[in-house]
Amino acid sequence: MRSVREIAEGVRTGRLSARTLVEDCLCALVEADRDLVAVTRLLHDRARAEADAVDAMVAAGRDPGPLAGVPYGVKDLFDLAGLPTTAGSSLYADAAPASQDAEAVKRLGAAGAVVVATLNMDEFAYGFATINAAYGITRNPHDTSRLAGGSSGGSAAVVAAGLLPFALGSDTNGSVRVPASLTGIYGLKPTNGDLPLTGVFPFAKSFDDVGPFTCSVEDMALVWEVLSRQDAAAPGHSLRLARLGGRFRENAEPDQIAAIDAIAPDAPLVELPEIARARSAAFLITACEGGALHREALAADAMAFDPQVRDRLLAGALLPDALYAEAQAFRAEYRARIEALVADYDVLLAPATPTVAPLVEDPRILIDGALSPARADLGIHTQPISFTGLPSLAVPLYRPGKLPIGLQLIGGPGREAELFAFAAALEGQGVTGFTAPQNTVVPAYAGTAGYS
């Protein structure tokens, strides 16, 4: 499939038509989604109008921007003017329409990108599986008997299937990195608070971040530059590496540990302190903030919620304020400790998920030798990183013929460019990289250039 950059260059030079790209995408999404269950709404009229505007700018000799005509989708919690923001819940299916686009959507539109769909998610982003009572279970394009991961599973699935060149998700405790790992693509959780959250339905404001999905590092850096308004130029120095030890070397696939040790055989093993406590505090803060956000709706009609989400939100709403305050105080102290601990390194390596995608019929995974619900525990390696606020890029191990699984590249605050540079080096060496699923419907524009 063509990359983000190839599409944008083709549209800007007139070799590709944004309108044709959109029509191909819409057709392919309809066909493929019968199996994937990744799309909640197709934006036919809006997408065609945006594409026509891009083509008109090109015809007039104007540059539409670095993402000219590139079609994309958004997790169904980004505001889109004129549509209700459902956050994956039937409770908001008939809500008042958004008055304007989310800021991230505005920035992408200003760069020429064309939004074509809203995408499936766990209700209110509370889960790691995209098991949605209202919209269905999103399937993994590599094996539709398996989960795509969550909570941004719809966004990951359409990119991994080659249906869209990129998509937006959100990451609170791993909701971008988990599905990226399970579907074999790149997914970014940026430095906490660096990308605009205005117009994004919150899950837990303390942790929420906007995150893109792409099939290459180059595309990820390009989309991130538009969203962050920063330069992703590679740093002019060699990168100092470390491997995360302790819990990060438990509950992992052998290929993940082998890859980490082969990438950085002489890098020190760094053990983050009090990982279990950090993850427990993250669970508590998430539950408290989610419960508080939905308290009134729960009181009005608790039975309208997805049962698995409802019970977790109710539990969070009942937690005492003092416990929440204690967890937040620990978080502030912990972040300072971790930033000091990792200051001597540019990239930390860790697994992204503890296993490949679990089966839809049995959504459990093995954690410490016992079966555990995938919906809660697929984020065992991502949640502690969210707690630190550090940026983390999920990268897919290149292992054709096997189910996908990824690593996390973790950096210092505001140092995403270093992660992109290191990821590009790994991709160039063939250690990481996207492998297309077999037997997937792809748009006609995909052609033969780009990724295979």
Q: Which residue in 3, 17, 75, 206 is the catalytic one?
A: 75
What are the contacts of 48-51 at 24+ separation with CB within 8 A? 48/19, 48/22, 48/23, 50/18, 50/22, 50/109, 50/114, 50/115, 51/17, 51/18, 51/19, 51/21, 51/22, 51/114
Give φ, ψ of 406 to 5 degrees.
-130, 175
Q: How many CA atoms lie within 13 A of 115 on its CB side?
A: 25
Q: Which residue in 3, 17, 151, 155 is the catalytic one?
A: 151
Q: Which residue in 17, 89, 175, 206 is the catalytic one?
A: 175
Are 41 and 134 contacting, i.e. CB atoms less than 8 angstroms apart?
Answer: no
Neighbouring residues of 265: CB distance < 8 A, sequence distance ≥ 6: none
The whole-number pLDDT of residue 445 equals 61
Q: Is 228 a catalytic residue?
A: no
The whole-number pLDDT of residue 389 equals 96
The whole-number pLDDT of residue 426 equals 98
Q: How far apart are CA 206 and CA 212, in angstroms?
A: 19
How far is CA 239 from its chain centroid? 25
Are 411 and 343 contacting, i.e. CB atoms less than 8 angstroms apart?
Answer: no
Q: Is 3 a catalytic residue?
A: no
The whole-number pLDDT of residue 450 equals 32
Q: Is 75 a catalytic residue?
A: yes
Q: Which CATH number fits domain 4-445: 3.40.1360.10, 3.40.50.720, 3.30.365.10, 3.90.1300.10?
A: 3.90.1300.10
Q: How far apart are CA 160 and CA 394, in angstroms?
A: 14
pLDDT tens sequence for the chain (452 residues)? 689 999 999 999 999 999 999 999 999 999 999 999 999 999 999 999 999 999 999 999 999 999 999 999 999 999 999 999 999 999 999 999 999 999 999 999 999 999 999 999 999 999 999 999 999 999 999 999 999 999 999 999 999 999 999 999 999 999 999 999 999 999 999 999 999 999 999 999 999 999 999 999 999 999 999 999 999 988 888 999 999 999 999 999 999 999 999 999 999 999 999 999 999 999 999 999 999 999 999 999 999 999 889 999 999 999 999 999 999 999 999 999 999 988 999 999 999 999 999 999 999 999 999 999 999 999 999 999 999 999 999 999 999 999 999 999 999 999 999 999 999 999 999 999 999 998 766 676 664 333 22
User: pTM, whole model, 2 decimals?
Assistant: 0.96
Q: Give me 129's structure tokens.
A: 């599986």
- Label each residue of the chain as H, E or C: CCCHHHHHHHHHCCCCCHHHHHHHHHHHHHHHHHHHCCEEEECHHHHHHHHHHHHHHHHCCCCCCCCCCCEEEEECCECCECCCCCCCCHHHCCCCCECCCCHHHHHHHHCCCEEEEEECCCHHHCCCCCEECCCEECEECCEEEEECCCCCHHHHHHHHCCCCCEEEEEECCCCCHHHHHHHCCEEEECCCCCCCCCCECCCCCCCCEEEEEECCHHHHHHHHHHHHCCCCCCCCCCCCEEEECHHHHCCCCHHHHHHHHHHCCCCCEECCCCHHHHHHHHHHHHHHHHHHHCHHHHHHHHHHCCHHHHHHHHHHHCCCHHHHHHHHHHHHHHHHHHHHHCCCCCEEEEECCCCCCCECCCCEEEECCEEEEHHHHCCCCCHHHHHHCCCEEEEEECCCCCCCCEEEEECCCCCHHHHHHHHHHHHHCCCECCCCCCCCCCCHHHCCCCCC
Handedness of CA 181, 187, 193, 199 (dihedral sign): negative
The whole-number pLDDT of residue 446 equals 62
Q: Give me 89's structure tokens.
A: 């819940």
